[in-house]
Structure 1
Amino acid sequence: MPSGRVHNLINIATYSVLAAGVLVATRQGLLTVTPAQALNFTLGFFVGTFLLSPDLDLAEGRVDSKRRWGRLGVLWVPYGRLFSHRGLSHTWLLGPLTRLAYLAVVLGLLVGLLCFVWPLFPLPALPPPASLKVLLPLLFGYYLSQWLHLIADGVRPDHGLRHGLKKVRRRF
């Protein structure tokens, strides 16, 4: 299993090759990518690489992704206790979703606590729902960064399915 630094280098190298390929394909008229789509993909990819790594399931220890959150890194310790390393958090579809859902729950709890402690705190208005043109590049960038991490760890796409079936077989 590669170190966090190697995972980051793999992702950065892949992003560089992918960006160069998209740039060439766009200039040759083979592909159309708007600047907003490129920015959203890049944002999702780098958030997934540097802040929401699959290794946050090790957040009780020294994990690069947790350290990048600074003092807020402590918020990821419960995530590390909830998910065993290379368990559900290292599945191809649900794993990345667990980190997004966990982050949403933590933010909701923090806003709720803030409203309880300081009832007159002016909360910003919720933004309007994002369109698929915004969400798809963000999610694609995020998921691709996660999948590169899992590939480097040697985790196959059927990882979650195989472990689930083993648990079912043990019960019968």
Structure 2
Amino acid sequence: MPSGRVHEALNLTALGLGSLAYLALGGSPEDPRALAFALAYLAGTFLLSPDLDLAEKEVRARRRWGLLGLFWRPYGWLFRHRGLSHTWVLGPLTRLGYLGGLLALLGFLVQGVLGFWGVEVRLRPPSFGLEALGFGLLGYYLSQWLHLVADGIWPDHDLKRLRRPR
């Protein structure tokens, strides 16, 4: 299986080629949809790699989180390597859900601590345009899918395991 560096090189090559094609077809680099796509693709490549499910082994994506990388260790305990976290639809959703849960917990703690000191804080999630959010999800999922293809996991991978031998 490819190393983390190989996964990143493949993803960056695909992003570069896709960006060249986008620009050649008259796309604008200032388009918010293109920015959302590129940022989510890079986040999926460098911060939210499917290999975060390796609980005992230190992976590049977890190191990039710095001290916050410790919060990803329970994710590795929840999902065995190349299990549900390495599926085409649910795998990327598990990482987004886990990250959303961590952010919600952090927001709750910040409100509680500041509320204890008498400071009222109303934290709201950022509002994105629905179109930019869709392009961001597309970029994130494409980065995840390229990782899975490099690992030899194709969309029908799970279906093959469900079939019974005759």
Give the TM-score normalised by structure 1: 0.85
For the aligned residue pairs, the C-alpha RMSD in angstroms reads 2.2
Fraction of identical pairs, as percent: 52
The CA distance in 2 between the partners of 1:67 and 1:20, in whole Å, is 30
Counterpart position of 1:12: 12
Alignment of 1:3-152 (within 5 A): 3-26=3-26, 35-119=31-115, 120-123=118-121, 125-127=123-125, 129-152=127-150
SS of equivalent residue, structure 1 residue 126: coil
Give the TM-score normalised by structure 2: 0.88
Q: Please say if residues 114 and 120 of structure 2, whose CA atoms lie closer than 8 Å, have aligned partners that are also in contact.
A: no
Offset of 1:98 from its aligned partner? 0.4
Q: Please say if residues 87 and 160 of structure 1, whose CA atoms lie closer than 8 Å, have aligned partners that are also in contact.
A: no
The CA distance in 1 between the partners of 2:9 and 2:126, in whole Å, is 36
Deviations 1:19-49 (A, max 9, x none): 00111112xxxx6886111111100100000
Structure 2, unmatched stretches of 5+, are none
1:117/1:124 Cα in 2 relative to 1: closer, same or farther (>3 Å)?
A: closer
Offset of 1:132 from its aligned partner? 2.3
The CA distance in 1 between the partners of 2:88 and 2:51, in whole Å, is 13
Deviations 1:117-144 (A, max 9, x none): 4424554542564332111110011000
Structure 1, unmatched stretches of 5+, are none
